[in-house]
Amino acid sequence: MSGTNQSAPLRTIDPQDEAILLNTIDRWIEKDVRPVVMEHDHADKWPAELVAQMQEMGLFGATISQEYGGLGLPATTYVKIVSRIASYWMALTGIFNSHLMLAAAVERFGTPEQKALWLPKFATGEIRGGLALTEPNAGTDLQAIRTTAVRDGDDYVINGTKTWISNGIHGNCFALLVKTDPKAEPRYKGMSLFIAPKHDGFTVGKKIKKLGYNAIDSAELVFENYRLPAANLIGGVEGLGFQQATGGLELGRINVASRGVGLAEGALRLATEYATMRETMGKPICEHQAIQLKIGEMVTRARAARLLTMDAAEAYDRGQRCDMEAGMAKYFASEAAVRNSEEAMRIFGGYGYSKEYEIERYYRDSLLMCIGEGTNEMQRIIISKQWVKRHAA
């Protein structure tokens, strides 16, 4: 059933190099991340020190090719890194994931000049940012955006508002989706994507207060007569922005799936620790059948989410179209994250509802995974369409 063609060459990394990298991540999580998660999450505080450490480890260049100074990691290794970090603190992964989506748009669709100019700075994290697609009136229906870019000599003049943009405050450059021809039909033909650094005319509006996914900034971005040179139009040709913005979504969905895997596994870990320690009626609660049923389902869900995500990542590493595989992974892993977090909260009893324990954060954070990179309603529609297309009589 999988679209994975086992005969296509698989992009890989030396297993020893991967083990060293994952070991470094594990030690970093233990020493630097775990002690500060609750403080940052509760105060919604930007983790400046951790960001500097992620920069040092090269995470801002994780999937950027080595020729541009990145680590050039295959998606399978990327899944392992993201899920490991997310199993302790999901929000942290959003800081480099969103940035890598910007980099992926430039690396896949940029001109040679754009790649040479921007990718080395993205890879070191000297310039960091994300994707600016969503607007107050247009999320799922991206073709309804109203931000316009009007050609003026060698420049474009941009006006409009973006919302919900991750890294909006602390980032300094974004892939900005606009309409260069608002009257085009079909609508996607009038859309273009720009590399948009912060300068005059580009201001940050309000910081959005959220249920979870704290510490990473989600903000409104406002563009008022914001000028960009035509050299910042990705690919150098108008009208390709919609494909460019959505063309990176396979990797985007694999990375949201990896976060879901991390949350599902993290919730399972916390629930297991608690269930073996907490006693009622003279025995640990993990020996009561009601709790065993929950843990049995949680283990299975977490495992299935990981396998689906690795399956999608392998297809991606073979250079195959994998929107269905990535969609299934994103859909299943994000729902697994929500279900496992909720079940873990129940296993914690009253303490699951307390801010003194970590499990409530998993529940708050997991719900976002059902929305980002295409809502789960849309994922199921995409999966169904691809399935029918691949199996049409």
- Bridging pattern class, strands 129-132 and 202-207: unpaired
* Residue 213 near ligand FAD by CB under 6 A: yes
Residue among 103, 79, 258 at smallest CA distance from 171 = 103
* Residue 371 near ligand FAD by CB under 6 A: yes
Q: Which two tokens stand for residue 222?
A: 């406002």
Q: Which is nearer to ligand FAD, 235 or 372 (CB)?
A: 372
Give the integer Cα–Cα distance in Å for 33 and 39.
11
* Residue 152 near ligand FAD by CB under 6 A: no
* Residue 96 near ligand FAD by CB under 6 A: no
Contact window for ligand FAD (CB under 6 A) among 37-45, 160-168, 281-289, 353-361: 160-168
Contact window for ligand FAD (CB under 6 A) among 13-21, 133-141, 247-255, 301-309: 133-141
Report in angstroms how near the CB of residue 205 gets to ligand FAD at its nearest: 14
Cα–Cα distances in angstroms (integers) from residue 389 to residues 212, 243, 375, 382, 393, in the given order? 37, 20, 21, 11, 9
* Residue 284 near ligand FAD by CB under 6 A: no
* Residue 166 near ligand FAD by CB under 6 A: yes
* Residue 90 near ligand FAD by CB under 6 A: no
* Residue 191 near ligand FAD by CB under 6 A: no
Exactly one of 33, 37, 133, 275 binds ligand FAD (CB under 6 A); that residue is 133
Strands of the chain, DSSP E? 129-132, 148-152, 155-166, 173-179, 191-197, 202-207, 218-229, 279-280, 283-284
Contact window for ligand FAD (CB under 6 A) among 30-38, 253-261, 279-287, 366-374: 366-374
* Residue 134 near ligand FAD by CB under 6 A: yes
Q: Which is nearer to ligand FAD, 84 or 99 (CB)?
A: 99
Exactly one of 108, 198, 210, 364 binds ligand FAD (CB under 6 A); that residue is 210
* Residue 196 near ligand FAD by CB under 6 A: no
How many residues bind ligand FAD (CB under 6 A)? The answer is 21
Catalytic residues: 373
Give the integer Cα–Cα distance in Å for 322 and 315.
6
Give the integer Cα–Cα distance in Å for 86 and 265.
9
Report in angstroms how near the CB of residue 371 gets to ligand FAD at its nearest: 5
* Residue 164 near ligand FAD by CB under 6 A: yes
Binding mask 216-245 for ligand FAD (x = CB under 6 A): --x---------------------------
- Bridging pattern class, strands 218-229 and 191-197: unpaired
Bond from prior residue into 186 cis (ω within 30 degrees of 0): yes
Contacts of 270 by beta carbon, 8 Å cutoff, 6+ apart: 344, 348, 358, 359, 362
* Residue 256 near ligand FAD by CB under 6 A: no
Residue type, position 342, single letter: E
Burial pattern 206-222, b for ≥16 Cβ within 10 A else e, equals eeeeeebbbbbbbbbbb
Q: Which residues bind ligand FAD (CB under 6 A)?
A: 98, 130-134, 139-141, 164-166, 210, 213, 218, 368, 371-372, 375, 377-378
